[in-house]
Chains A and B, each alone.
Chain A
């Protein structure tokens, strides 16, 4: 999973308690249960969860980052047993906003690879899109089934101190983490069945079914009974468990580049009973590695000639090539405008206000208020090349100011947002920890999503880094009536 960066809080929204300290209505069942269940039993269940995850963990994290070594290392993402609860009405409005946002993003991708209306109307500066590294010339003029580019989108949401949700980032390439959403639910139901009896928690288990439906709906029209496969970089990839898990849950083959070949204008799998045609490839391999004939020649993960089959419309890739241009930090500020432009609607979900330093007025403001802002490199990711003003030393702010001044177009800035907190088990007991939320949006013939998503939690006190590599964990996410 790519790293997500977050900003430092001043105050924050408490998911469980209102401003007066009373438990919020939708959290009451969980709070009651926590209060009346002996600490001993909760602790016992937590140990059981650790043990169970460890056992499953042996199967999915055995290599982790120790590539090819025989360490048998188990890198588990810590699982917290206190669910994050969201009331149904709130979720419905979120879901509506997510559908709207992802629809607009798909419309945008279709547009920039066809008529480029949004560029001609100067809603977004043309050079900003056409000169972007992730813009794929190979996609120009190519008509995709349902005009969908990002079949699986992961939208990162945070909750500001006033309780409103903000989109922090759109992930339109190969978002991961959905297997944790499913495993977390399974674990919670196994450990605490009585909690599920107290209130109706909306199910998420049908996600693999929806995914398969979405993928099959995205097949080339010529495929009558579309064959789907999941393409993985292989068993040493850190998300290999998820690739294998999804293939198994959907009942389709998990393939590596070497299992596929192009012949007579189609992509085939090598099987023990001869070649078998593949119509839809849910690929968890980056654009640049997909076809060594078209992109990186040194790639062993891809399939030579696949691009030509794709361009001929004889295979579908999910997600499509070239979606990265729409989730770039420099494109992000324009998403609300996209929604207005394509859908004629007002955006339901908030964008974090963003100043683009290439605009002289914005630059002036950013240079002036740098110590309060978060400043990011346009191309940067994983928390690199960024400044968190309130947390930085004076000298660091000065140094960054000089860098921004030297190349303003390379930077954007945002206000410092806080993240909401949710009660979480830590060594000292139950304590508030910061969380975010990544729902997964599926686009085929229709846009669908399961209620909830993956909640990530920063386990260190005060930390806003929900990344698993930096002490982040996950929680089950409940949408309740």
Chain B
């Protein structure tokens, strides 16, 4: 497969996944802000910006950090390269460039999503219609992923699409957990105790893991279990371990005689997620652990770019 084509497909998939994750983060934030206590308000509003590393850009564009301003910035701002708007726009743009290699259903899903989004009244998205909008973004992402899985020929296009999707998802799960843990758990000695139920439930819901938690643990929500679920539980499809199962599988299928460095790193990460003990993670510090994982994910992304997709 042409490197340029693989690059487009990889990013097309990453961008749709990123749009979905941003919608998830915003959805949870909106709930926490509306129903949460005042003392964590600022932190809750700040979290999405920390997760996506866009606080500086936000401060340039807005004077005051309010929920509508945050939503406007993260959902609709075309100047923000990681806004939902930008992600959907570039996913479609990338899809258009490889229109002849993906199925027409895939293209129509991307194009339809873009056309619908452009027609949405801004005021509604930042106001009363916010949750409806986030749900819609998630649905469009589910649709795109499903259409891709259900229609595309099993070949390099499929492999790079999967690789993009799950690398992006791993990145997001690690970020959400890192930032939220910080806010929700100011002191390490609280690790074993049951904290603010609502906040933890919200975190779980943001990665569609609330019901899973209940099923698997049949217990109160304990921070250490939340971390275990989101990092190590491979039955939970948004956990780091589950994501890396998919990343490794996709890389295994990709032909690349000259690539050793990205495959090696992916297998290392996969092994680390398979054989780590959650107690050890906490002893060394969850934040330190997640930072290292995020660095590795970033490094893996650039190695994949160099080995298969051409210079950025």
Stretch at the interface among A77-85, A198-206, A267-275: A267-275
Residues of B within 8 A of A273 (CB): 1, 255-257
Q: B242-257 vs A: 1/0 string, CB under 8 Å?
A: 0000000000001111
Residues of A within 8 A of B160 (CB): 272
Q: B89-100 vs A: 1/0 string, CB under 8 Å?
A: 100000011011
B100: which of A72, A247, A256, A274 is its contact (CB, 8 Å)? Answer: A247
The yes or no answer to B108 lying at the interface (CB within 8 A) is: yes
Q: A233-276 vs B: 1/0 string, CB under 8 Å?
A: 00100000000110110000111101100000000011111100
The yes or no answer to A70 lying at the interface (CB within 8 A) is: yes
Residues of B within 8 A of A248 (CB): 100-101
Which chain A residue shows the least CB distance to B92? A70
Which chain A residue shows the least CB distance to B4? A259
Chain B proximity of A261: nearest CB distance (Å): 11
Chain B proximity of A223: nearest CB distance (Å): 19
Check B118 against A70 for contact (C-beta < 8 Å). Answer: yes
User: Please, how many angstroms separate the alpha-carbon atoms of A272 and B163 in the complex?
Assistant: 14
A272: which of B89, B107, B308 is its contact (CB, 8 Å)? Answer: B308
Residues of A within 8 A of B107 (CB): 59
Q: B111-145 vs A: 1/0 string, CB under 8 Å?
A: 10011001000000000000000000000000000
User: Please, how many angstroms separate the alpha-carbon atoms of A391 and B258 in the complex?
Assistant: 67
Which chain B residue shows the least CB distance to A229? B2
The yes or no answer to B193 lying at the interface (CB within 8 A) is: no
User: Please, how many angstroms separate the alpha-carbon atoms of A2 and B32 in the complex?
Assistant: 59
Check B3 against A259 for contact (C-beta < 8 Å). Answer: yes
The yes or no answer to B296 lying at the interface (CB within 8 A) is: no
Chain B proximity of A268: nearest CB distance (Å): 11
The yes or no answer to B77 lying at the interface (CB within 8 A) is: no
Residues of B within 8 A of A259 (CB): 2-4
Residues of A within 8 A of B146 (CB): none
Check A272 against B97 for contact (C-beta < 8 Å). Answer: no
User: Please, how many angstroms separate the alpha-carbon atoms of A395 and B208 in the complex?
Assistant: 77
Which chain B residue shows the least CB distance to A71? B118
A271: which of B3, B89, B108 is its contact (CB, 8 Å)? Answer: B3
The yes or no answer to A62 lying at the interface (CB within 8 A) is: yes
Check B309 against A244 for contact (C-beta < 8 Å). Answer: no
The yes or no answer to B156 lying at the interface (CB within 8 A) is: yes
Chain B proximity of A67: nearest CB distance (Å): 13
User: Please, how many angstroms separate the alpha-carbon atoms of A235 and B99 in the complex?
Assistant: 9
Check A272 against B254 for contact (C-beta < 8 Å). Answer: yes
B2: which of A63, A235, A244, A269 is its contact (CB, 8 Å)? Answer: A269
The yes or no answer to A42 lying at the interface (CB within 8 A) is: no
Q: A59-73 vs B: 1/0 string, CB under 8 Å?
A: 100110000001010
Check A272 against B255 for contact (C-beta < 8 Å). Answer: yes
Check A271 against B100 for contact (C-beta < 8 Å). Answer: no
B104: which of A59, A63, A256 is its contact (CB, 8 Å)? Answer: A59
Residues of B within 8 A of A272 (CB): 1-3, 6, 156, 160, 254-256, 308-309
Check A270 against B257 for contact (C-beta < 8 Å). Answer: no
Chain A proximity of B35: nearest CB distance (Å): 36
Residues of B within 8 A of A386 (CB): none
Residues of B within 8 A of A59 (CB): 99, 104, 107
Check A270 against B104 for contact (C-beta < 8 Å). Answer: no
Check A271 against B2 for contact (C-beta < 8 Å). Answer: yes
Q: B284-301 vs A: 1/0 string, CB under 8 Å?
A: 000000000000000000
Check A274 against B257 for contact (C-beta < 8 Å). Answer: yes
The yes or no answer to A58 lying at the interface (CB within 8 A) is: yes
User: Please, how many angstroms separate the alpha-carbon atoms of A422 and B99 in the complex?
Assistant: 35
B1: which of A70, A245, A256, A271 is its contact (CB, 8 Å)? Answer: A271
Residues of B within 8 A of A256 (CB): 4
The yes or no answer to B81 lying at the interface (CB within 8 A) is: no
Check A270 against B3 for contact (C-beta < 8 Å). Answer: yes
Chain B proximity of A25: nearest CB distance (Å): 41
Residues of A within 8 A of B108 (CB): 58
User: Please, how many angstroms separate the alpha-carbon atoms of A259 and B311 in the complex?
Assistant: 12
Check B100 against A62 for contact (C-beta < 8 Å). Answer: no
Which chain B residue shows the least CB distance to A249? B100
Choose among B99, B107, B258 the residue with the greatest number of A CB atoms under 10 Å from its CB: B99
Residues of B within 8 A of A253 (CB): 2
Which chain B residue shows the least CB distance to A55? B108
Which chain A residue shows the least CB distance to B156? A272
Residues of A within 8 A of B1 (CB): 271-273
The yes or no answer to B68 lying at the interface (CB within 8 A) is: no
Residues of A within 8 A of B36 (CB): none
With A272-B254, A274-B257 in contact, is A255–B100 under 8 Å at CB? no
Which chain B residue shows the least CB distance to A72? B115
Q: A274-290 vs B: 1/0 string, CB under 8 Å?
A: 10000000000000000
Chain A proximity of B11: nearest CB distance (Å): 14
Residues of B within 8 A of A244 (CB): 99-100
Choose among B97, B115, B255 the residue with the greatest number of A CB atoms under 10 Å from its CB: B97
Chain A proximity of B43: nearest CB distance (Å): 36
Which chain B residue shows the least CB distance to A60? B99
User: Please, how many angstroms separate the alpha-carbon atoms of A218 and B145 in the complex?
Assistant: 42
Residues of A within 8 A of B2 (CB): 253, 255, 259, 269-272
A270: which of B4, B96, B97 is its contact (CB, 8 Å)? Answer: B4
Chain B proximity of A405: nearest CB distance (Å): 52
User: Please, how many angstroms separate the alpha-carbon atoms of A39 and B254 in the complex?
Assistant: 56
User: Please, how many angstroms separate the alpha-carbon atoms of A59 and B257 in the complex?
Assistant: 35
Residues of A within 8 A of B53 (CB): none
User: Please, how many angstroms separate the alpha-carbon atoms of A248 and B99 in the complex?
Assistant: 10
Q: Which of B63-119 contact A (CB under 8 A)?
A: 89, 96-97, 99-101, 104, 107-108, 111, 114-115, 118
User: Please, how many angstroms separate the alpha-carbon atoms of A59 and B103 in the complex?
Assistant: 11
Chain A proximity of B186: nearest CB distance (Å): 44
With A62-B111, A273-B256 in contact, is A258–B104 under 8 Å at CB? no
User: Please, how many angstroms separate the alpha-carbon atoms of A271 and B157 in the complex?
Assistant: 12
A70: which of B3, B89, B104 is its contact (CB, 8 Å)? Answer: B89
- Taking A72-B118, A272-B254, A274-B256 as given, write out 15 further A-B residue pairs in contact, using a Cβ cutoff of 8 Å, ordered by the A residue number: A58-B108, A59-B104, A72-B111, A245-B100, A247-B100, A248-B100, A254-B100, A259-B3, A269-B2, A270-B3, A271-B2, A272-B1, A272-B3, A272-B256, A273-B255
13 of the cross-chain contacts (CB-CB < 8 Å) are: A59-B99, A59-B104, A59-B107, A62-B96, A62-B111, A72-B114, A248-B101, A253-B2, A255-B2, A270-B310, A271-B2, A271-B3, A273-B1
* 5 smallest beta-carbon distances between A and B, as pairs: A244-B100, A272-B308, A270-B3, A273-B255, A248-B100
